[in-house]
Amino acid sequence: MISPVLSEEDISLDLVTKGKQSALSKIAVRIARRTGLDEQMVLRGLFDRERVSSTGIGRGVAIPHALLGTISSPVASLTRLAQPIDFEGPDDDPVDLIYTVLWPRSATSAFLPALSQICRLFRASQVREQLRQARSSDEALAILETEPHQEFPPICILPMPGLAL
């Protein structure tokens, strides 16, 4: 799931932001420019989901996501922030790793299993630490591609009241 969706161009290391809204805005602009999607639509999707509850999952990681009717295949980006920011996660740890996912509304049934896999990946402390030390986008991508995903504990605390995706 990670590798086919994510490429080196989708990875941004040491992004400077002023907070959660600034980070989501910069990520939305980057995704929109890269994919040709409407910037405001991407931003609205991410902000709407974030208003339901924080997509911070703890341990310095957030997985903002949105279901969009205008895309036919998943879009993702990985962002490492220059300085951690408050993301209102369950453990109140500031976030410095943000994995953003845009998913086609037409493929909703595959979304939760994919989101679960991403959560499991980021629950592994070695993955988080290696990503924090990565010196380049290709190094970060290699870390994500080489992790044995099936060994991760199946725990992800991502509040989803009423499954408001």
CA distances from 151 to 5, 48, 120 (A): 21, 33, 9
Residue 53: DSSP 8-state:
S
Which residue among 49, 65, 80, 120 is the active-site one?
A: 65
CA distances from 14 to 17, 40, 72, 131, 137 (A): 9, 24, 30, 11, 11
Contacts of 73 by beta carbon, 8 Å cutoff, 6+ apart: 104
Contacts of 150 by beta carbon, 8 Å cutoff, 6+ apart: none
| Tokens representing residue 118 in the block | 């991403």
Q: Active site includes 65?
A: yes
Residue found by looking up tokens 């990946």 in the block: 121
Please identify every residue annotated as catalytic: 65
